Amino acid sequence: MVSNQDILNELRKQGRRISKLERDFGRVQDDVEDVEEEVEEVEHKRAGGRGDSISLPKLSFNQIITFIGVVGVIIGAISFFFYAVANNWIGETGQVMIGVILGFVLFGFAFILRKDKEQWSNIVFGGAYFVEYLAIGVGVLEYEVLPDFIGIALALVFLISSTVLSIKFKARVIAYFTLVGGFLIPFITGTFENDLFVMGFYVLLSIGLVVLSFVEHWYDLRFVSYLVVGNFILFSFDKFVSASDKVIPVLFLISIFVLYKLAVLINSFKNKKDEISVLDSIIVVSITVMFLWFIYNMFDFSKEVYGIFVMVFSFLYLIEIFYFKTQDVKTKHSIIYTLLSTGIVCLNLGFIFLISSVDADFFLILFAVEYVLFSVLSVKTDEKKVYQVFSVISLLLIAYWYVWVLGFKEGIAHASFFLFILFCIVVSFFLLFRKDINFKLNAASFIIGGFAFIYSLYKYLWYWNIVDETAHIVLSILWLIYTLVLFSNVETKEGKLLVGGLLGVTLIKIAFNDLFYLEGIFRIIGFIIFGILLIIGGYFIKNESDKK
């Protein structure tokens, strides 16, 4: 019985023959590659999806024995080389020349393997480039037998040739040696102290690797190149911060930020694989954090100025989302979520710096605005869940700020202003649930918010010298009226349970606080007022139930 693997092998043979004919006649045909990819996908699924996108060669026993023999010869040759060096049989120039010649020998061996062993050929090509870069580094830095400009010229030649070969042979392995060798060039040629050369070279190299990743669909190559250049930036932190002329480092940071951010957006349009979008999300978040962290440490900004900068910076992400939505640009949801999250975090971070010298109570305004914005977006866009999550987070922050941060201890003007803000927040809850926007959440927020607003009004009375027994009576009367009116108007079961709970809290306060501790005329007045209110409330509640 013919297996899928047999079919795949036969297709590969036919594909190589067709490719040769196409090269002879100058034609391009992708059908064979498409069929091969489909067969590979079927084989991948039959195997349960195991393995990654880079298949390793399957070795026979004979190949394993041969490979071990080759490794043994290489180890012996290397041992002889070091022995000869130790005994001064080979001078410094000779050692460098041997390294260069060995690299070219490996190149020739890789071309010979190319016909029948493509994957092995790619590995040998990578080893050849590694040997060449090593020889250049030793010749320039260690022995100083190669001038810097010759080392740079040779390194650039090898970099360009490895890029060409990786495209010609569609070899990811060679591309990775291009990446590693390219980033090592400043170090093996002794030019790493020249900041302008290193940063300019890394920008060009990064652009080339990003373009190569798109041309050959090697998106992992772009991510790895970002990791490498990102680590270079992190290790250069002290140099960037202490630089007397910060123009070059800043331009370098901006170039890398724009390059990889733009690559992420382009990839989100072209590539539909969810696993790749995770890598893009990592790039967006990490490059933003790194960029803002460096800017903060490189410049002597005041917190207020830096806060304004970060807030303006956050608008880049929000404007991108706005453009995608208004122009109906199709992109992956994960990237939209990442851009939105990063923009909101930057906006809040900038606001924190901006008002670092201002009362923290003002954060309540920001959270309230964000809550209304996210609530509206949750019903106006396709990404309902993500905006609902952000609205819930904003609501929790409002509750936290109200309970633990907001105080009425800064004077009557401060208290009057925030009492008005609390009133506006309660009204916004009312308007949102009346518009059927997250109905249950906003209805519950309105009920609890109104109850909390009355309590804030009770604290506000302190500034008008209404304290102790009188203030408690006013609070209980307002709570009782509020809960009784709501209970007679709420229609849902959940709403009645919530209002009933608040009514229970009010009655417990009246029984165990107001009437128990009040004395004299205050207790008499309290009994009369609360009794009348309960009678009236009971009448309206019964009347409403009779209508139903």
What is the pLDDT at residue 277? Answer: 65
Location of structure tokens 């001078």: 91
What is the pLDDT at residue 25? Answer: 52
What is the pLDDT at residue 245? Answer: 86
Q: Are 245 and 275 in contact (CB under 8 A)?
A: no
Nearest to 110 by CA among 94, 132, 93: 132
Q: Are 106 and 127 in contact (CB under 8 A)?
A: yes
Instruction: Cite the beta strand spans of 121-270 per DSSP E.
Output: none
Residues of the chain with pLDDT under 70: 1-74, 76-78, 80-82, 85, 271-277, 356-358, 381-383, 467-468, 515-523, 526, 533-534, 536-548
Nearest to 169 by CA among 217, 126, 114: 114
**Amino acid identity of 207?**
I
What is the pLDDT at residue 432? Answer: 93
First to last CA, the chain: 76
**Amino acid identity of 543?**
N
Count of all residues that appear for the chain in the document: 548
Q: Which two tokens stand for residue 208?
A: 């080339």
Q: Which two tokens stand for residue 431?
A: 């308007």
**Amino acid identity of 469?**
E
